[in-house]
């Protein structure tokens, strides 16, 4: 059960009710640009908890906030690290901070939190045994800070465990926003977007660093590539076909992905055991999703991918949107998230 938590204003910093924010507009950051940029390392959650709270809580906290995502291996979006509150001045401007406060305690972390947000700490009692305060840009730009307060250790831990999914979503939302800002930092590829609108029944907001990799208008397929030295290669492909009735299925999507990989990606293929198949929602469409590992048996290479298949009833068109990453040197999860951000700008066009 998620319990109510507090929204407040401290100085000029808005502490928002997390989970109710619809997020910033697509191309405009909602961060406070009057503040210095956070110190990066956004894959780390700097955590402050007194000894008993950490001893009893760390396993559940780490299990949830360090949840794994499969690319070509299991990757995590965040790692949780406990730090000494006496050195907070060294870390307070990093991207992700988490504080656990037992209001009844006189130990250093709890005392620090009560000094930082005394009015909210004073509200904790029998009528409000625990709560959460989520702050955006508290001490730096592009920062997420979460304070969890309980009237005693038991209530603190109970509330924390009950809300771990929400806590993860707050940090994840901040990371997605950071990735989106990087993806669109250099603007849009206006030339290609104009071409899409003139020639295709759809368009998407393509970042400027993405260029055409394969274009086959006769077959209704186009693929874009972003290649930057020392970063993952990112491929975004779109295939579409006229379809009088909705015959899109997991089998259709799997077969189309095999065809596209073989024809346009130099023989890339999939193995059923490497692929997760699921029903999902994609931009309001009832969709199917495949994700996992692609391989190329000729070049002995591979990478991660995710693709969605769905049907537009008004257009009578079936679509496949495909994201793929190649980066043998390192992690691929954030590159895959960036591709999904771009894919989520997909819009159909009614041709007259």
Residue 33 is predicted with a pLDDT of 67
Residue 214 is predicted with a pLDDT of 98
**What is the chain's alpha carbon radius of gyration, rounded to the nearest angstrom?**
23
Ramachandran angles phi, psi of 81, nearest 5°? -130, 130
pLDDT surpassing 80 at residue 20: no
List the structure tokens of 124: 């904790």
Tens digits of residue pLDDT in 81-131: 999 999 999 999 999 999 999 999 999 999 999 999 999 999 999 999 999
Residue 18 is given by DSSP the state T
pLDDT surpassing 60 at residue 13: no
Residue 18 is predicted with a pLDDT of 29
Chain position carrying tokens 């073989």: 262
The whole-chain average pLDDT of the chain stands at 91
Judge whether 308 and 282 are in contact, CB under 8 Å.
yes
Measure CA 128 to chain center: 32
Judge whether 174 and 194 are in contact, CB under 8 Å.
no
Domains annotated on the chain, with CATH:
8-183 (no CATH), 190-348 (3.40.1000.10)
Q: In terms of pLDDT, which residue wins out, 275 or 26?
A: 275
Residue 35 is predicted with a pLDDT of 81
Cα(first)–Cα(last) distance of the chain, in Å? 50
Tens digits of residue pLDDT in 256-304: 999 999 999 999 999 999 999 999 999 999 999 999 999 999 999 999 9
- Percent of the residues in the chain that have a pLDDT greater than 90, as a whole number: 88
Rounded distance between C-alpha atoms, residue 15 and residue 143, angstroms: 12
Rounded distance between C-alpha atoms, residue 195 and residue 197, angstroms: 5
Q: pTM of the full predicted structure?
A: 0.88
Which is it for strands 130-136 and 74-76: parallel, antiparallel or unpaired?
Answer: unpaired
Q: Provide the Cα torsion 160, 161, 162, 167; round to 10°.
A: 60
Residue 40 is predicted with a pLDDT of 77
Which is it for strands 269-282 and 202-203: parallel, antiparallel or unpaired?
Answer: unpaired
Residue 137 is given by DSSP the state S
Least confident of 22-31, 39-48, 108-117, 228-237: 22-31
**CA dist list (Å): 149 to 36, 121, 160, 300:** 27, 7, 9, 52
Write out the DSSP string of 119-130. HHHHT-SSSS-E
Mean pLDDT of 32-39: 77
Residue 30 is predicted with a pLDDT of 57
Residue 36 is given by DSSP the state P
Residue 4 is given by DSSP the state P
Tens digits of residue pLDDT in 190-239: 999 999 999 999 999 999 999 999 999 999 999 999 999 999 999 999 99
């Amino acid at each position: 059960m998620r319990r109510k938590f507090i929204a407040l204003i401290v100085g000029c910093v808005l502490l928002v009710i997390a989970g109710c924010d619809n997020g910033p507009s697509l191309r405009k950051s909602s961060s406070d640009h009057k503040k210095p940029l956070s110190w990066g390392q956004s894959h780390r959650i700097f955590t402050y908890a007194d000894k008993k709270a950490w001893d009893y809580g760390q396993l559940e906290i780490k299990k949830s906030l360090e949840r794994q995502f499969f690319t070509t291996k299991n990757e995590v979006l965040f790692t949780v690290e406990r730090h000494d509150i006496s050195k907070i001045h060294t870390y307070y401007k990093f991207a992700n901070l988490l504080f656990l406060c037992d209001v009844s305690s006189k130990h250093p972390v709890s005392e620090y939190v009560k000094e930082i947000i005394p009015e909210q700490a004073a509200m904790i009692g029998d009528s409000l045994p625990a709560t959460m305060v989520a702050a955006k840009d508290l001490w730096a730009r592009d920062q997420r800070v979460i304070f969890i307060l309980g009237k005693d250790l038991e209530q603190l831990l109970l509330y924390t465990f009950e809300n771990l999914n929400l806590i993860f979503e707050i940090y994840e939302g901040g990371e997605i926003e950071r990735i989106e800002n990087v993806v669109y930092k250099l603007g849009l590829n206006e030339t290609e977007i104009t071409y899409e609108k003139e020639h295709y029944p759809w368009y998407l907001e393509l970042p400027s660093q993405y260029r055409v990799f394969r274009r086959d208008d006769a077959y209704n397929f186009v693929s874009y590539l972003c290649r930057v030295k020392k970063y993952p290669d990112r491929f975004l492909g779109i295939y579409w076909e006229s379809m009088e009735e909705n015959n899109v299925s997991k089998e259709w999507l799997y077969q189309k992905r095999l065809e596209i990989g073989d024809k346009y990606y130099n023989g890339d293929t999939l193995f059923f055991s490497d692929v997760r198949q699921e029903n999902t929602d994609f931009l309001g469409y009832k969709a199917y999703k495949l994700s996992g590992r692609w391989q190329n048996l000729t070049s002995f290479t591979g990478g991660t991918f995710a693709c969605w298949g769905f049907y537009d009833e008004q257009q009578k068109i079936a679509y496949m949107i495909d994201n793929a990453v190649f980066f043998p040197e390192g992690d691929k999860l954030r590159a895959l998230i960036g591709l999904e951000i771009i894919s989520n700008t997909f819009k159909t066009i009614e041709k007259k």
